[in-house]
Structure 1
Amino acid sequence: MSDGSVRDVVTTARRIVVKVGSSSLTTAAGGIDPERVSALVDVLAGARARGAEVVLVSSGAIAAGLAPLGLAKRPRGLAAQQAAASVGQGLLVHRYTEELARHGLTAGQVLLTLDDVTRRAHHRNAHQTFTKLLELGVIPIVNENDTVATTEIRFGDNDRLAALVAHLVHADLLLLLSDVDGLYDGPPSRPGARLISEVRADRDLADVVVGSAGQAGVGTGGMVTKVDAAAIATGSGIPVVLTSAEYAGDALAGKPVGTLFHATGKRRPIRLLWLRHATEPKGAVLLDAGAVRAVVERRASLLAAGITGVQGEFSAGDPVDLLGPEGEVVGRGLVNFDASELPALLGRSSKELKRELGAAYEREVVHRDDLVVL
């Protein structure tokens, strides 16, 4: 696992987002494990002592609420999950607050919904809040606002949330802590499974088989979501280290533990990162060859004139896939019309639509600022 070298990209990071999952914080019965929380906080405090700013994205609210509510395992129903989160979130932050106080550090609770990092006005406000907290020396403790989030406005898991937060706060590093010590080329329990120490490009993942959520039944993620989160972060210029909570201290010291995902891209609008990596299309629109060229090559908006068909049921503002003439996915975007409105608009020019239906129908079906090429 170690070759004696130090990862400079880690040791030079001045702003770090650390994500820890439920399985790394809680007992199998669902309660918070004080020793695990204490050990993690010691690592965070060590990073702060070296001069780094730290943001912690912590799962565990629902899991922490199970035991006090007498629940044996994570409930399936959304209302029961929200009730558990309501009880558990306060317990979780209280524990962090007490542990950070041992080091003379202050915790600040930040509960986010998807809108907070993807809508422009909310995004700006969230960025300003984080900036002020870090300026004041606070360690923000971030979680999805599970108590009010519905299926439609959920991040889906805290791995993707952490990647988007890393982008939001302009982090230099994202540390993903799992119950596995890194990314393996197959199930870690399989004889001969090999730890992948570095990932520089997608081709390095070509032969990797990743699994789903852990055995304890208290989390929602898994290696799939961690690889997805790494893609979100690295695609916007943020390197990622994936390892277990046990090796968190070594990871932040730059030791070659776990898996290092090298940055592959530059910063880009966070809404487009979310659209590419963290959305499920509600339907699709079919494009003719000319529209595909306009969208893919010229990065133009999608107009009704270039659409030949509509699939699925969706509403204005939903993500939809853009399909080429052969049914291939060429992009994804936020659509400006309901599925029921589009058939009457297909193949018609914007001027024609404005003249016959009014100015509201002159707008793009998908604006280029709300569109990613896949």
Structure 2
Amino acid sequence: MRVVVKVGSSSLTTPDGHLDPDRIGTVVDAVVTVRARGDEVVLVSSGAIAAGLGPLNLARRPRDLPTQQAAAAVGQRALIAHYSESFAAAGLVVGQVLLTVDDVSRRSHYRNAHQTFAKLLELGVVPVVNENDTVATSEIRFGDNDRLAALVAHLVHADELLLLSDVDGLYTGHPDLPDSQPIREVRSEADLAGIDVARVGSAVGTGGMVTKLEAARIATAAGIPVRLTSAARAVEAVEGEPVGTLFTPTGKRRAARLMWLAHASETRGRLVLDAGARRALVERGASLLAAGIVAVEGDFAAGDPVDVVDPERVVIARGLVNFDSDELPEMLGRSTADLAAELGPEREREVIHRDDLILMS
């Protein structure tokens, strides 16, 4: 069995931004419990920026990207040092894996990430994953580690995703309200109807219940069950106790790299299709050819993710484009044979190959 455990910043740090050894110890105990029964585990851990606040004398999480990156550079070292020391006491070795969107949405990068995880797990290492906040820009960020954890769970073919938070599960309203009731199981979107999950995240984190629900949707749609509970109950959760909220699978596993493309990437432009091209993509599973494109929007390069929209500007797909945005206008509406004859054989290929495209519901 393979488990992905995700823990947020507020579950690892003190209010002033310092790492809390006791809180880290609770998470480590849960991971050690999984390993002791012979299972594999990947730990997706927030906390790098939060861990840097104290050493840099910052009162709260910075809003500007350069200061966030500076805090991450200081805090990531402290975070991984704590994990290394704590796991070493249990005889386990950790490996740090820092990811950006480009690391996993582009085909060659994705393959490298997949192979790295496979080898670490084969060697008995506990991968500790975080977004690479030190170098990530606003255009290439996952945005929150809940979504990152769901995508990592799919990437490593996990059997379960455990989301650890500062609350012990999903409630019908804000957990502090006396009339809010815990929800023990979510089987479909219908079970979430009328639930108020709008809540402000902690002073050191970026998420909240909204991001955890989105992570649960991503994972369960790919056939992975999700349990949401508090970090304090992590050991109970990995021991199979019915704590927190269980989200049962709603779909089947999909091509992992395309899951990253759908949920992790920020698109750089849009391709507008005619009705015939829309039918070819949606009904026949075809690649996207220049003949069916009527307009190009945005500034992008070959290999960038773009949205594919129908004549009503509704997004129907997302894919990795094979041409720069300034190359495409002269190609629109023309057959591949015509393009090859006039512009050369390098234009005789798909604008987006089917293997690099995912339909969006």
Question: How does the TM-score come out when normalised to structure 1?
Answer: 0.89
Count of aligned pairs between the two proteins: 360
- Hey, what's the Cα distance between the residues in 2 that align with 1:256 and 1:331? 38
- Hey, what's the Cα distance between the residues in 1 that align with 2:178 and 2:297? 45
- Hey, what's the Cα distance between the residues in 1 that align with 2:6 and 2:292? 43
Tell whether 2:310 aligns with 1:340: no
CA deviations 1:260-316 (Å, max 9, x no partner) are: 121223332222112222233333222222111100011111111112223344333
> Residues 367 and 210 from structure 1, CA distance in 2 versus in 1: closer, same or farther, beyond 3 angstroms?
farther
Give the one of 86, 94, 98 matched to 1:107: 94
Kindly indicate whether the alpha-carbon contact (under 8 Å) linking 2:28 and 2:87 is maintained by their aligned counterparts in 1.
Answer: yes
Kindly indicate whether the alpha-carbon contact (under 8 Å) linking 1:117 and 1:168 is maintained by their aligned counterparts in 2.
Answer: no
The corresponding residue for 1:357 is: 343
The corresponding residue for 1:72 is: 59
Aligned pairs for 1:264-303 within 5 A? 264-303=250-289
- Hey, what's the Cα distance between the residues in 1 that align with 2:184 and 2:219? 18
Between 1:310-319 and 1:65-74, the stretch displaced more is 310-319
- Hey, what's the Cα distance between the residues in 2 that align with 1:337 and 1:134? 37
Kindly indicate whether the alpha-carbon contact (under 8 Å) linking 1:56 and 1:140 is maintained by their aligned counterparts in 2.
Answer: yes
Tell whether 2:179 aligns with 1:204: no
SS of the aligned residue for 2:183 comes to coil
Give the one of 57, 69, 72 matched to 2:44: 57
- Hey, what's the Cα distance between the residues in 1 that align with 2:243 and 2:87? 25
1:68 shift after superposition: 0.7
> Residues 138 and 76 from structure 1, CA distance in 2 versus in 1: closer, same or farther, beyond 3 angstroms?
same
Structure 1 stretches of at least 4 aligned residues deviating more than 4 Å after TM superposition: none
Quote the sequence identity (%).
Answer: 66
- Hey, what's the Cα distance between the residues in 2 that align with 1:277 and 1:206? 23
1:56 shift after superposition: 0.8
Give the one of 227, 246, 249 matched to 2:213: 227
Kindly indicate whether the alpha-carbon contact (under 8 Å) linking 1:213 and 1:219 is maintained by their aligned counterparts in 2.
Answer: no
Kindly indicate whether the alpha-carbon contact (under 8 Å) linking 1:173 and 1:238 is maintained by their aligned counterparts in 2.
Answer: yes
SS of the aligned residue for 1:68 comes to coil
SS of the aligned residue for 1:149 comes to coil
CA deviations 1:200-250 (Å, max 9, x no partner) are: 233333433433551x32111222222222222222222111111122122
- Hey, what's the Cα distance between the residues in 2 that align with 1:224 and 1:319? 25
SS of the aligned residue for 2:284 comes to coil
Give the one of 130, 135, 144 matched to 1:157: 144
The corresponding residue for 1:15 is: 2
CA deviations 1:333-372 (Å, max 9, x no partner) are: 2222333333322221111122122222222222211211
The corresponding residue for 2:179 is: 192
Aligned-partner residue type, residue 331 of structure 2: L
CA deviations 1:69-121 (Å, max 9, x no partner) are: 11111122222222211111111111112222332322222222323333333
- Hey, what's the Cα distance between the residues in 2 that align with 1:142 and 1:48? 17
The corresponding residue for 1:32 is: 19
1:191 shift after superposition: 4.5
Structure 1 vs Structure 2 CA RMSD: 2.1
CA deviations 1:154-177 (Å, max 9, x no partner) are: 222211221222122221111111
The corresponding residue for 1:42 is: 29
Question: How does the TM-score come out when normalised to structure 2?
Answer: 0.92
1:190 shift after superposition: 4.1
Aligned pairs for 1:113-128 within 5 A? 113-128=100-115
* Structure 1, gaps ≥5 residues long: 1-13
CA deviations 1:122-152 (Å, max 9, x no partner) are: 3333333323332333222111222222233
- Hey, what's the Cα distance between the residues in 2 that align with 1:305 and 1:101? 59
> Residues 320 and 202 from structure 1, CA distance in 2 versus in 1: closer, same or farther, beyond 3 angstroms?
farther
Kindly indicate whether the alpha-carbon contact (under 8 Å) linking 1:83 and 1:147 is maintained by their aligned counterparts in 2.
Answer: yes
Aligned-partner residue type, residue 189 of structure 1: D
The corresponding residue for 1:10 is: none
- Hey, what's the Cα distance between the residues in 2 that align with 1:271 and 1:80? 31
Kindly indicate whether the alpha-carbon contact (under 8 Å) linking 1:228 and 1:277 is maintained by their aligned counterparts in 2.
Answer: no
Between 1:254-263 and 1:32-41, the stretch displaced more is 254-263
